[in-house]
Amino acid sequence: MSITKKEIVNALVKSMDITHVQALSIAHDFFDQIKQMLASGESVKLSGFGNFVIREKSARPGRNPKTGEIVEISARKVVVFRSGPKLKLATQKGK
């Protein structure tokens, strides 16, 4: 099971005693800030949670699974998440 942005907003409404509109604004602003920092090439470090880092992948040969044809996979940037020690510990304990 995964959590959606809607569920995050609902949790904020309940825990912070704010309106749905305010919680939605907080969630959008939070994710937009992360997106802007990553788009500018900066890493995002969330203490106690983990880090979002931009990694450059070089071009490489690949294969079209339908036809078997060899194709060139272009170079690109990808976002990588590395969980922090507290998050790793929490997931190992099943919390």
Residue 21 lies in a domain: yes
Q: How many residues in the chain?
A: 95
Distant-in-sequence, close-in-space partners of 17: CB < 8 Å, separation ≥ 6: none
Do 25 and 59 fall within a single domain? no
Supply the pTM of this predicted model: 0.76
Do 26 and 59 fall within a single domain? no
Helical packing angle, 20-39 and 5-16, nearest 10°? 130
Do 4 and 27 fall within a single domain? yes
What are the pLDDT digits (tens) for 42-91? 999 999 899 999 999 999 999 999 999 999 999 999 999 999 999 999 88
- Domain span including residue 2: 1-42
What are the residue ranges of helices labelled H in 1-95? 5-16, 20-39, 85-93
Do 57 and 35 fall within a single domain? no
In the three-class reduction of DSSP (H, G, I as helix; E, B as strand; rest coil), residue 2 is classed as coil
Do 3 and 28 fall within a single domain? yes
What are the pLDDT digits (tens) for 29-48? 999 999 999 999 999 999 98
In the three-class reduction of DSSP (H, G, I as helix; E, B as strand; rest coil), residue 31 is classed as helix
Count of domains observed in the chain: 2
